Amino acid sequence: MSESPETAANTEVTADVSAANPAPAPEPVGDAGNSASQPTAAPKPAIPTPRPIPKPTSFKPSPRPSAAPAAPAPAPTTDDSELVAKASEFGSVAADGTVFVRDGDSERVVGQVTDATATNPLDLYIRRYLDLRTKVLLFETRLHAGSISANDAHSTLASLHEELASPNAVGDLQALRTKVEDLRSVAKEQAAKAEAERQAAREAAIAKRTKIVEEAEALAAQDSANVQWKSASDTMHGLLEQWKRAQKEGPRVDRPTEDALWKRFSHARTTFDRERRHFFAALEEQHSAAKAAKEKLIAEAEKLSTSIAWGETAAAYRELMTEWKRVGHAGRRDDDALWSRFRAAQDKFFTARDAANKEIDAEYAANLVTKEALLAEAEALVPVKDLGFAKSRLRDVQDRWEAAGKVPREAIQRVESRLRAVEQAIRSHEEDQWKKSNPEVKARATGLSAQLHDAIARLEVDLAQAQEAGDDKAVREIEEGLNARRAWLAQIEKAATE
């Protein structure tokens, strides 16, 4: 009758307790083949002492107080009665107490009992059989549950094979041997499956580490000029941490493969670190050269900062700025400080220049008022009615113009062009007077008139564009030019009619 794992475990406990506490009676005298002296006249063959039965590894009896007397081994329980009955079928006891077991196709002696007429003289030998059966069933349970390793299964099978070779027990020993052989096949299948799983895990681990190595080699193979070293260094460190975790937590890899992969990984890291050091050494050298060059430019800028040659020095600062940009970076640590010094020297010069220009402009503003009054006098001479009077008044205006001095820079072109226009109008009127009787001169006057018409037309277009753009300054200058040319044109046309 087959048993559940729970029943087998209970049987194992019962068998172990029985083996640990043998019943006081009846006691076997000895195994077959041995002799011992008896107190009666007729000697009886000695019964060999039974071999101790190994206990299953999963059962450990609880310790008992040393003072407690040993309890007698319990007889087979009622639940085991069917097993006992079936086991009894394989044993027999001769009249002299010799115990036989039918083992396969033959019988063999397993021991001897003193009282062959006892209720069941085979109890001891049947218990031994049940102990062996319990071991086999327990091993079967653990094997199918997957709770035993391949090595432990192998050693347990070897132990069971040895114990079942020729045990002094009564029961269906051949059936136990057959079951053990069946379990051997199961253990082999499980071992093969476990080995396949381990091999697959090893291959996956090798693939994972190979990927780590290839990523490290790809990092090391990059052009150092294009590498973002901070990010790349973090990535390489992360790959090293992945390798350590795979080595610590992942499946074991065979030593030759692991050594070969580690050699590649280590070489990639060494190459990467060497290129990084070379890159930063070259960059440091470049930064040092740029720093030295910028220090020199700063010294020149600081030397120029007190100059009052405004135009010349401003041009020199523009050249220094061009050179500063060409030099390049001196490194984040130094660039800001160097630029602050360079900019401070420039600011010192341009601040002084602006202050001086403000003083000059304040002085020139009064001159501008004087010259604008002179322009009003000069422009009142156009159109020319009396050439002699106009020329005399213009010379007076010109003398006072030179005596008035300079005007602010932004007003120079405007006032100078207005005076030039009056001068040109009077000069043109004088030429016209001189040439008005000459047909050739009249022809030239006609040509000049045409040119003035064209110029006026162009200026009118420019005026419209300036007005549309909202450029008030340009509007004023164009209107002044238009007024002057219209005045010239009026004089020319008047001379032509006269």
Structure confidence at residue 116 as a pLDDT band (50, 70, 90): low
What number is the average pLDDT over the span 154-177? 92
Contact in structure between 425 and 383 (CB atoms under 8 Å): yes
pLDDT at 76 over 70: no
**Tens-place pLDDT, residues 181-233:** 999 999 998 889 888 888 888 888 889 889 999 999 898 888 877 888 888 89
Task: Identify the residue with better confidence: 72 or 87.
Answer: 87
Residue 495 and residue 428: Cα distance in Å, rounded? 10
pLDDT at 173 over 60: yes
Residue 241 and residue 264: Cα distance in Å, rounded? 16
**Tens-place pLDDT, residues 377-419:** 888 888 888 888 888 888 998 899 988 888 888 888 998 999 8
pLDDT at 361 over 50: yes
**Tens-place pLDDT, residues 451-471:** 888 888 888 888 888 888 888
This prediction's pTM: 0.41
Beta bridge mates, 103: 106
What residue spans define the domains of the chain?
5-61+69-171, 195-369, 380-497
Look at residue 497 in the predicted model and tell me its pLDDT: 65
Q: Out of 25-29, 147-151, 241-245, 311-315, which region has the weakest mean confidence (pLDDT)?
A: 25-29
pLDDT at 441 over 90: no
Give the chain's mean pLDDT.
79
